[in-house]
Amino acid sequence: MSDLSTPLARVKGLGSAKEGVTHWWRQRLTALLMVPLVLLLVVCVASLPSADHARFTAWISSPFATICLVLWIGAMFYHAQLGLQVIIEDYVSSHARRTAAIILVSFVCLIAAAVGIFSVLKIALGA
């Protein structure tokens, strides 16, 4: 197969980084994981007609709900980080700003996921 890039592009290293497919698959797999989790959580929450605070915390304390919520929070923030990274890579032209934005988004998503998972586990373990 012939190389269609220009000599300048080859020297600068412009072209495929060979990571796009992995990133694409991870985003699709997290989306597929979230579909049944969201459906389960919607059905479970809808089945709590008079959901006062005590009943809702009791529901979160059940092992099934805890596992579903922890998986959903982890998948949701990882999926968000992947999607925001693509947006930043596409629309931020400065290399330094792009790198800083990707790092910032990664940390914010990681911290938000940790806070969400910690909160669910704190309720589930009765602390």
Per-residue pLDDT of the chain (127 residues; tens, 9 = 90+): 456 666 666 666 655 666 678 888 999 999 999 999 999 999 988 888 787 888 889 899 999 999 999 999 999 999 999 999 999 999 999 999 999 999 999 999 999 999 999 999 999 998 6
CA angle in degrees (0–180, nearest 5) for 31-122-112: 45
Contact 78, 33 (CB under 8 A): no
Report the 10 Å Cβ neighbour count for 51. 14
Give every CB contact of residue 9 below 8 A, 6+ residues apart in sequence: 15
- Residue listed under structure tokens 């602390």: 127
DSSP secondary structure letter of residue 50:
T
State the Cα torsion 87-90-93-98 to the nearest 10°.
40
How far apart are alpha carbons 58 and 46 in whole angstroms?
A: 15
Structure tokens at 107: 């940390």
Give every CB contact of residue 45 below 8 A, 6+ residues apart in sequence: 51
Confidence (pLDDT) at 20: 73
pTM: 0.81
